[in-house]
Amino acid sequence: LSIYLLLALLDMIMGIYKNVFKNNKDFKSELFLKKILSVAVMIIAVAAITQLTSFIKGMDIPFTSMAVFQGTVVYIFNIVKIFLVVSFLAYEATSIRENSIALKWTTLTETIDILLLPLTWIKKSLQKKITGE
């Protein structure tokens, strides 16, 4: 979560620098608000899933078969939380990459490309399977 917050802050600063100082455009509060809402949705979603998982773990289950079901539900919620965090991190990283391309900061772009390489590979593999190639 803290890494996500740092990436969101870096993305916001780069976006403001790119638009206001580099491109001499007016500051648009709706883009600023979009970033704040994006961060808020991430925090609320992760907190909600964490609270729900804690609640389900703490329930007393009298039957063994229901305990297995409970463990499965907790596992699924944890997988969803991990997917959510990775998705938001990838979103911020690609947004920072787009800003670095616009600012012509090639070193940062290349560094982010290396970090996004596993996700790019997964995306290409899934696209090949979907299209049947």
Mean pLDDT of 91-120: 84
Residues of the chain above pLDDT 70, percent: 98
82 pLDDT more than 80: yes
**How many other C-beta atoms lie within 10 A of the C-beta of residue 130?**
8
Model pTM score = 0.73
Task: Supply 17's token pair.
Answer: 């620098």
> How confident is the prediction for the chain on average, in pLDDT?
84
Q: Which comes out higher in pLDDT, residue 42 or 130? A: 42
pLDDT in tens, 10-44: 988 888 888 888 878 777 777 778 888 888 998 99
Distance between CA atoms of 65 and 67, rounded to whole angstroms? 5
